[in-house]
Structure 1
Amino acid sequence: MAITYIESPSTDPAFNLALEEYVFKNLPRDKTYFMLWQNDNAIIVGRHQNTAEEVNAVYVSEHNIKVVRRLSGGGAVYHDLGNLNYTFIADAKDAQVIDLQYFCLPLIRALEKLGVHAGMQGRNDIVIDGKKFSGNSQYIKDDRIMHHGTILFDSDLSVLSEALKADPEKFESKGVKSVRNRVTNLRPYLPEGTTLKQFREALLANMTEGEELETYTLSPADLMGVQKIRQGRYELWDWNYGVSPDYTVRRSKRFPSCGLVELRIQVVEGRIANLAVFGDFIGNGDADELAGELKGCRMERRALTAVLELIPVSWYFFDVSSEELVDLILL
């Protein structure tokens, strides 16, 4: 069967995940589709994960990292322009029993031809010298399968480790937690001087070896369809954060001006359902009054700021600003 190659015109994560979904749902099912694409500065969380539990919210905000939820399961991953992603979309009668390795092996074979000896570890990771450089996941529906994977080519691993650094002891939830593995970039294992462009071209040539390759150019109608999905799902806070499993989070900080403030926050569908305040802090007002004002508010900086800017926070927590309280809630 011929393989149809589609190249994304964008590095926006919401667009690229929408493009995957569009191809999966709308393009003819008698073809197998292969895509190479990149996201700029993004965290992609798994379908069943608690977004707040996976990301370092303060770091993500300070570094303008986009957070988007994908359709498939698995753990959270960091993408930048040193990372290359690939996708296979195909029909499969018994898709529910297809092993992830079926779609990982072409990448392993392609790397072998480039002089890189990689192998599978566990169910969905590809490793070199025991270090993960590619994670994979799948989405299956109506006898159709979408397999996608990441390739750490030359990513900023320091940003990766900070952006995904969330404290599991501060959360109690039923969300699927990511497993942090030792990771490595692929570039040091390739011939010296290999660029991402060269690797991309070599990968495309080898990944489809033995199969006829045809290129599909997205039409204006296709792009309109992608944008509709993007705006209706992947740009929405309700999808990226709100569909997270319910959870309870604990926050605490000792402010020099007022003392220790401890928060117990129950979050349902991404919004504050209950907020209890404890600590040895000093203030004039009843902190439960302030907590009541935050019920129903999204666990998101803009929404929290909009509420707290209308409240004299320092009346409840001496000399603490609304911005400092937002930082504590999202710590």
Structure 2
Amino acid sequence: MSILRQLKVVRTAALRSAQAPTARVFSYQLSTKASKDPPVYVSASDCPYHNLAFEDWLFRKTDASVPLLFIYRNAPSVIIGRNQNPWKEINLRALNTLGIPFVRRKSGGGTVYHDLGNTNYSVSVPRESFDRRSNAELVAAAVRALGPPAYVNERHDICVDGYKICLFFSSLFGSAYKIIGRRAYHHGTMLISAKLDQLGDLLRNTKDTLTTKGVESVRSPVRNLSHFTPGIAHEAFVGATVREFRKKYGGNEKPTIVGKDDMFRVEDVRKGIEELQSWEWSHGQTPEFTHVLTRSFPWGAITAHMHSKHGLILDSTRIDCDGDTVCAESCAAIGEELVGSRYGDVSELISRVEGDGGEKADIRSAVLRWLGEEM
């Protein structure tokens, strides 16, 4: 029985031409037992919170001396790096309109869009044997086995005909890896039949006056594998990648299927899921940044110098008005009232201000609504 039979996924012609290995069911005991046979895990969940928490748990808690492969897909979501700014990297308005979540992962690097048209892989190895190019070549070989003439360029990107087909979760120097203690991992997102137009829309941000101390993503031209080999599927890529992993690292054990409930039963994974979903992690880990906003109102031109760290507005925030005293005093008051509040969340303050009444309240309400839209 193939991996994807276990997942109750219909076989495609591409899968029939590239059989995946048989599989077994995950158990906590199985994952932590002493074994030198490099394990392979394939997720049956498409929840980004579960998959990213499980990936981090595998990296931190399993035997660091044994290579490991984890493969998963996520429902539509945007994944940002540990040290990135969501207000800078993402079109949050479009994201919220579509009901698509963003998740801050534990590793560093750039922002990527996930959907069921791309497949994510993570190769963990002992630190002393880690080689960025070697693991990229492993995945490129898997792609070549499916038809497209993939190669690894000088930046360790996996490409076909000059186009990147894999988006890396870059951590250091533009390379897709993370090192902690005795283990390192290399991971990325293989574009198979992803909605590239949606990728562009969600990662398009026009906040040019937002300056961050965090890591900014580098945009590159990309193509789906299906552009080069129509009909290529997730199932085929899984099978080919598992085979290349086995060629390189050995072992005969069947891949282990991991379900959503399996992940949630592991206490550390459950805690990881809860952390990834928390505001304190998703927004509160944002590095310090400034955002300068300007707009003309009937009562004067407003310039807002927003300053934030860890997702909270700092006391160095200043809002100026070149109009009369009423406008200047109203804007100064807004700057003071915003201190300590969550960046972008002004709804509570608007409600409080609108209950005050008077000309200053009208000015403050209008400016706050504008700031809420722009932030």
| TM-score, L = length of structure 1 | 0.86
CA distance in 2, matches of 1:300, 1:33: 40
State the one-letter code of the partner of 1:229. Answer: G
Instruction: Judge conservation of contact 1:287–1:316 (CA < 8 Å) in 2.
Output: no
Equivalence for 1:216: 256
CA contact (8 A) 2:292 2:304 kept: yes
Counterpart for residue 269 of structure 1 = 310
Q: Distance in 1 between matches of 2:217 and 2:144?
A: 29
Residue 63 of structure 2 is matched in structure 1 by: 28
- Corresponding residue of 2:33: none
Counting only pairs closer than 5 Å after superposition, residues 232-247 of structure 1 correspond to structure 2 as: 233-247=275-289
Secondary structure at the residue paired with 2:108? coil
Secondary structure at 1:286 match in 2: helix
CA distance in 2, matches of 1:148, 1:6: 14
Taking structure 1 as reference, are residues 45 and 230 closer, same or farther at Cα in structure 2, changes over 3 Å only? same
Q: 1:109 aligns with which of 132, 137, 141?
A: 141
Cα deviation for residue 157 of structure 1 reads 1.3
- Give the counterpart letter for 1:288 in structure 2: A
AA matched with 1:57: L
Gaps in structure 2 of 5+ consecutive residues: 1-35, 169-175
Q: Spell out, residue by residue over 1:310-330, the C-alpha distance to the aligned partner (whole angstroms, 9 max, x if none).
A: 2229834388386544112x2
Q: Return the letter of the residue paired with 2:73.
A: Q
Amino acid at match of 1:158: D
Cα displacement string for residues 7-59 of structure 1 (whole angstroms, at most 9, x for unaligned residues): 22322222211101111122233432211111222221122223322112222
Task: Supply the AA of the counterpart residue of 2:153.
Answer: Q
Unaligned runs of 5+ in 1: none
Deviation by residue 1:45-90 (Cα, 9 ceiling, x = unmatched): 1222233221122222222222222222221111112111001122
1:290 corresponds to: 334
C-alpha change, 1:213 and 1:306, in structure 2 (3 Å) is farther
Q: Residue in 2 aligned with 1:138?
A: 177
| Shift in alpha-carbon separation, 1:169–1:8, aligned structure 2, 3 A | same
Query: AA paired with 1:132?
Result: K
Question: Within 1, Cα distance between the matches of 2:264 and 2:101?
Answer: 26
Does the C-alpha gap of structure 1 residues 254 and 14 become closer, same or farther in structure 2, counting only changes over 3 Å?
Answer: farther
1:182–1:259 CA distance, 2 compared to 1 (3 A): farther
Pair 1:86-2:121 in alignment: yes
SS of structure 1 residue aligned to 2:247: coil
Paired position in structure 2 for 1:305: 347
Check whether the contact 1:52–1:241 (CA below 8 A) recurs between aligned residues. no
Q: Is the 8 A contact 2:40 2:255 kept in 1?
A: yes
Amino acid at match of 1:214: K
CA distance in 1, matches of 2:241, 2:263: 28
Query: Within the alignment, does 1:315 sit opposite 2:361 as a pair?
Result: yes
SS across alignment from 2:56: helix
Structure number with the higher strand fraction is: 1
Superposed CA RMSD: 2.7
| Counterpart for residue 269 of structure 2 | 226
2:89 corresponds, among 54, 77, 85, to 54
Aligned partner letter, 2:216: K
Residues in 2 aligned to 1:67 and 1:221: alpha-carbon distance in whole angstroms? 20
Q: Is the 8 A contact 2:103 2:276 kept in 1?
A: yes
State the secondary structure of the residue aligned to 2:71.
Answer: strand
What do the CA deviations read for 1:203-259 (whole angstroms, capped 9, x no partner)? 43444336324333555785343111211x31122222222221101223456x767
TM-score by length of 2: 0.76
Structure with bigger gyration radius? 2
User: Residues of 1 paired with 2:305 and 2:290: CA distance?
Assistant: 7
Taking the TM superposition and a 5 Å limit, the aligned residue runs for 1:63-82 are: 63-82=98-117
Change (3 A) 1:119 1:83: same
Q: Tell which deviates more after alignment, 200-209 or 3-12.
A: 200-209
Q: Percent identity?
A: 26
- 1:261–1:59 Cα change, 3 Å: farther
Q: Deviations over 1:140-167 (max 9, x none)?
A: 1111112211111111112211211223
Structure 1 counterpart of 2:159: 127
Q: Which moved more, 1:289-298 or 1:318-327?
A: 318-327
Instruction: Report the equivalent of 2:199.
Output: 160
Task: Supply the distance in 2 between the matched residues of 1:220 and 1:239 (Cα, whole angstroms).
Answer: 20
Identify which range, 264-273 or 52-61, moves more after superposition.
52-61
2:221 maps to amino acid? R
Letter in 1 for 2:307: Q
Secondary structure of 1:28's partner? coil
1:174 aligns to what? 213
Moved more, 70-79 or 221-230: 221-230
Structure 2 Cα separation of the partners of residues 59 and 68 of structure 1: 15
| One-letter amino acid matched to 1:238 | E
Q: Contact 2:145–2:240 (CA<8 Å) still a contact in 1?
A: no
- Identify if the C-alpha distance between structure 1 residues 129 and 217 changes in structure 2 by more than 3 Å, giving closer, same or farther: closer
Aligned pair count?
A: 321
The verdict on how the C-alpha distance between 1:169 and 1:195 changes in structure 2, with shifts beyond 3 A counting, is same
Letter in 1 for 2:131: D
Question: For the Cα contact (< 8 Å) 1:124–1:135, is it kept in 2?
Answer: no
